[in-house]
Copies of this chain bind each other. A is one copy, B any other.
Amino acid sequence: MESSIHQWFCQIRDAAARISDRVMRTPVRHQLALDDALGAQVWLKCENLQHTGAFKFRGACNALLQLTPAQREAGVFTVSSGNHGAALAAAGQQLGISVRVGVASNASPVKRANMEQYDAELITIEPGMTAREQFVEQQQASGRHFVPPYNHPHIICGQGTAALELLEQQPDLEILLTPLGGGGLLSGTAIVGRELGISNIYGVEPELAADGRASLEAGSIQPAMPPRSVCDGLLTSLGEETFAIIRRAVDDVLVVTDEQALAAQQLCFEHTGMWIEPSSATPLAAIKAYPQLFAAKRIGVVISGGNVNQLANS
A121 to B23, CA, bound (A): 41
> Quick check: is A117 within 8 A (CB to CB) of the other chain?
yes
> Quick check: is A270 within 8 A (CB to CB) of the other chain?
yes
> Quick check: is A32 within 8 A (CB to CB) of the other chain?
yes
**How many residues from A make CB contacts under 8 Å with B?**
24
> Quick check: is A22 within 8 A (CB to CB) of the other chain?
no
Known: A27-B24, A27-B26, A27-B27. Contact between A48 and B273, CB under 8 A?
A: yes
Of A183-191, A221-229, A305-313, the one contacting chain B is: A305-313
Interface string of A12-45 (1 = CB under 8 A from B): 0000000000001111010011000000000000
> Quick check: is A107 within 8 A (CB to CB) of the other chain?
no
Q: List 13 A-B pairs, Cβ < 8 Å.
A: A24-B27, A27-B27, A32-B117, A46-B49, A48-B273, A269-B310, A270-B311, A273-B274, A273-B275, A273-B276, A273-B310, A274-B274, A274-B275
**Which residues of chain A have a CB within 8 Å of any CB of chain B?**
24-27, 29, 32-33, 46, 48-49, 53, 113, 117, 269-270, 273-276, 306, 308, 310-311, 314
